[in-house]
Structure 1
């Protein structure tokens, strides 16, 4: 019998045998594992990629795509995109079941997670096992030594907010001294023209009209609009690009603990780093990139698959950080460690250090901390001030609390937080609005396991759809409304529902939670103490639309910033 089969195979041309083998592998790849969660049909080679792409084009966002799939197939959706099995969790119960399961404590593998750190998974954000355990323990221990979670951290944040406020006040003063107040007369309402306040500030002279096209209904300015323009022209105000305000100050709070130094807000190199990080976050999403799901595309379509852009951005990031490391070594004193980098370099000088420690690992940690601790906090603050502009009553309540609890003789401090319930609630609501539009960092099953009765094979990617616990009316009633009061109970204390877990739970709970909440609270309180932020007169009201990516980001928006006193 065996000889007969061998003879038959020998009569088949090798090329045909190859085709048959490929077709067999494609067929087997389209079969769902036994007990796998329900989901769209799997096609050979593509899996359910076409259905995911169709829905993403329809909704514009990955999390909304997964929400629609959840409505059709249930709270746990089983997918396959290219070579990757992906299970999406759309309810609090399923997410908690996964996050508290030790069998699900892995992080994804593959081209995306390896290419970002020199061909091997490094860092603390998307690693697991011994490397993750040792490196995370080291980072947390030594960050605490240099201020993380302590009074030193509060001082760093408060210093950065002071620098920012003084910078904005200086800009306002330069407008007042150098240009003088803008004068408006009745031409605005007599001839129906809408006057340009300023492209950068309120320094344009009377009589200059908006150059951009305007709607016909905007030609006739109402009396209240005219009053607003006069009020603005007579107060210390300017127009700023709000989404560009927080990048460098937030980077500095982390950079000081990492490398022992800070940069000025106008520093060219740090602004360049901020732009690199922003671009990087737009190029991928939380479940990877096209070339990650279809690795062969790295070679046959590097541009179309995003691989070329991904590597170019990382090359810039690596180059920047490596140059910083080289410069840092010139002043490094192992006997007097001043920052996390010093502590790490001191370990590397020891001949008996653990094999998980290396200079590449140090740079990877740097990348991860900037991504997890800087870029995300910056985006959360952008969402915060976008909604404060759109909800001026919320802003006014916060300012009333600041005036009542702190006054105007000193700047807010992190230690003020326990008695500033409303500003604290704004912090929680801002994080909800930000994290509620994204996915968590994916997990990976370390072995075959079960989640709520479904069998999940080893090496399956697990993605929690945070919009289903942070932006659902079932939990929050009016989830799309910016309402900090939802986090304040009848006794005036902070109260959060159990579904509120934007920083995740379990072993991989975000280690930057303390820094993120502290930054958002202090920056918000300090800026609102000194300024009022409002819609620019004559401009379109900022939209709440946002861009998709690793994290959500508001569309660029301008605000009118006015000195309060």
Structure 2
């Protein structure tokens, strides 16, 4: 397929501003220093003009970048000038309001202007956005070896040090760490360490907390967040925390805030000038403090595990990792398995595992409250298959297609990781006719994939039946990829599905959820950090 020609910016005439030429015209003849400065300024201006007119040949289309700052230099401008940026012009031309758009919606709407594959620059980093299933699959599955690395951008490197599973660079070390982590996590879905009884046990605390509110409106976020985090804690740390534990509550608040501010426009400037990360004010200082506090919390837990480790009876992920570290020391002096790497993996599991499943459950509760007819059908299926008294089990899932389809439809519409985690190309390649240079940042827009009208009929409508066949059984669709695809697919996918199903069914089995009377309809666009969270909302429960 031939690459479409990149759009050419309109020709402009660049004039030297008279205000910069207060000196006499004879300056060049009379003052060599002044003449050199003038020539240097003219060369810089001509270079700027050239950069504004040119993009590397063959790359996907997109707006012309500014030198040094790329396409997001407007964040450096005072507010009254930002309206003149390329982004604001494009958004207004499409009849949209930039202030009300989430990043995922904005990137989807820009595909109307530039096509399903387009590019822009953040500083000198080329970023390519993939907005349809075919381009995402070709990149992440068919060219997986090229597209599976992570960006080496300063903000990510400063926070993660290139370690862990989620943000670590693709290579032998990542493969070793992921293989061990994935096989260990599977133990928590099966056998004596299964999380299923822990999920059911944790729900008893959720139920008790919700019942304290009686018929009064309440915010479900802290209760759901505590419960989901405790399930992760049971798996990783071998313990749960009481909902009133101040240190635990503080850590959960730090996690939510850290994910929310990490895409702050000012923080993105760290990717242009990395030293900005150390500024002693604003979001820079706040993010560093959050990182410090979470580090202290997790490293203390690892230290306690090391001191109390029972070699014959490992209880959780940390125990199993520490035992593997000791085995590796005997056989491989250059092993990547050590306590430092464990810290980053635990951070990934704790932060990513809590935030994503919490938001999925909150979205489920919100959509049930907004769609009482769907909630009634879920209640009917639970009553028929499980009844009112028995706790749900994963073995019930096969007999509950409508409930499963409902969860899938909420996941499709809300996509809690709407832009996936950015990928990076490890070598130069060609994608659907476009040249993609080595080191290009790739954003798979999963939000756009799940709202594509070419795939989903009436994509903005909430309709669980789209996942059911004529016999009322669940249909698996290859275009439904809430956990991503390719080598970087979420390694906790099976655990997340189990946790989401068991907790959702337990909630629906015990309560009917509704919005308070006379409350405004919640904004369904969500709040975007690294994950998509619903805007704050209150619920009223009634016993079934």
Task: Decide which moves more: 462-471 or 340-349.
Answer: 340-349
* Residue 494 of structure 1: aligned partner: 474
* Residue 332 of structure 1: aligned partner: 309
* 1:32 and 2:50 matched: no
Maintained 8 Å contact 2:408/2:464:
yes
Q: CA deviation at 1:477?
A: 2.1
Q: CA deviation at 1:507?
A: 0.8
* Cα distance in structure 2, aligned partners of 1:269 and 1:388: 32
- Give secondary structure in 2 for the equivalent of 1:164: helix
* 1:165 and 2:207 matched: yes
* 1:315 and 2:358 matched: no
* Residue 458 of structure 1: aligned partner: 438
* Residue 28 of structure 2: aligned partner: none
* Cα distance in structure 2, aligned partners of 1:420 and 1:393: 17
Q: Structure 1 pair 415/33, CA: closer, same or farther in 2 (3 Å)?
A: same
Q: CA deviation at 1:300?
A: 8.6
Task: Decide which moves more: 433-442 or 404-413.
Answer: 433-442
Maintained 8 Å contact 1:123/1:362:
yes
Maintained 8 Å contact 1:59/1:65:
no
* 1:368 and 2:380 matched: no
Q: CA deviation at 1:53?
A: 5.3
- The one-character-per-residue Cα deviations of 1:433-467 (angstroms, maximum 9, x if unpaired) are 22177211111000101111100100000001112
* 1:241 and 2:219 matched: yes
* Residue 71 of structure 2: aligned partner: 48
* 1:116 and 2:179 matched: no
Q: What TM-score, normalized by structure 1, do the two folds share?
A: 0.80
* Cα distance in structure 2, aligned partners of 1:22 and 1:444: 31
Q: Please, what is the CA RMSD of the aligned residues?
A: 2.8
* Cα distance in structure 2, aligned partners of 1:501 and 1:538: 36
* Residue 66 of structure 1: aligned partner: 107
- The one-character-per-residue Cα deviations of 1:153-173 (angstroms, maximum 9, x if unpaired) are 22222222233224434x2xx
Maintained 8 Å contact 1:291/1:298:
yes
- Give secondary structure in 2 for the equivalent of 1:333: coil
- The one-character-per-residue Cα deviations of 1:207-262 (angstroms, maximum 9, x if unpaired) are xxxxxxxxxxxxxxxxxxxxxxxxxxxxxx34321222211211122221212112
Q: CA deviation at 1:417?
A: 0.6
Maintained 8 Å contact 2:155/2:274:
no
Instruction: Name the count of aligned residue pairs.
Output: 487
* 1:549 and 2:529 matched: yes
Q: Structure 1 pair 365/241, CA: closer, same or farther in 2 (3 Å)?
A: same
* Cα distance in structure 1, aligned partners of 2:43 and 2:304: 55
- Give secondary structure in 1 for the equivalent of 2:217: strand
Q: CA deviation at 1:91?
A: 1.1
- Give secondary structure in 2 for the equivalent of 1:476: coil
Maintained 8 Å contact 2:111/2:118:
yes
Q: CA deviation at 1:390?
A: 0.6
* Residue 506 of structure 2: aligned partner: 526
* 1:260 and 2:244 matched: no
Q: CA deviation at 1:87?
A: 0.3
Q: CA deviation at 1:409?
A: 2.5
* 1:440 and 2:483 matched: no
Q: CA deviation at 1:123?
A: 0.3
Q: CA deviation at 1:83?
A: 2.4
- The one-character-per-residue Cα deviations of 1:63-93 (angstroms, maximum 9, x if unpaired) are 1221222111111101111121100011111
* Residue 268 of structure 2: aligned partner: 290
Q: Structure 1 pair 288/32, CA: closer, same or farther in 2 (3 Å)?
A: farther
Q: What TM-score, normalized by structure 2, do the two folds share?
A: 0.83
Segments of 5+ residues of structure 1 without an aligned counterpart are: 1-10, 172-200, 203-236
Q: Structure 1 pair 72/150, CA: closer, same or farther in 2 (3 Å)?
A: farther
* Cα distance in structure 1, aligned partners of 2:390 and 2:286: 47
* Cα distance in structure 1, aligned partners of 2:266 and 2:429: 23
Q: CA deviation at 1:32?
A: 2.1
- The one-character-per-residue Cα deviations of 1:479-517 (angstroms, maximum 9, x if unpaired) are 222221111111111114322111111111111211222
- Give secondary structure in 2 for the equivalent of 1:43: coil
Task: Decide which moves more: 324-333 or 135-144.
Answer: 324-333
Match of 1:75 among 116, 137, 145: 116
Maintained 8 Å contact 1:285/1:551:
no
Segments of 5+ residues of structure 2 without an aligned counterpart are: 1-31, 75-84, 92-96
Match of 1:97 among 120, 138, 155: 138
* Cα distance in structure 1, aligned partners of 2:274 and 2:346: 29
Q: CA deviation at 1:343?
A: 1.8
